[in-house]
Amino acid sequence: MAILSQLFWGVTIGALTTAFETLAKGAVMIGGLGGASWYGLKWRKSRREKEKSGD
């Protein structure tokens, strides 16, 4: 009986750990893509402003 309890505990903790790890990786990926997109839009806007002021 103790073996089954330990097995259940291990599977439960393993599943929770995997779920949180997956969520964390997804959050980091979304944050990275969002940051890169924001930086790209900022760079493009500043480039357009420089071109307009140079005319």
User: Can you list the residues of the chain whose pLDDT is less than 70?
Assistant: 55
pLDDT tens per residue across span 14-25: 999 999 999 999
CA distance 3 to 11: 12
Confidence at residue 30, expressed as pLDDT on a 0 to 100 scale: 98
pTM for the model = 0.63
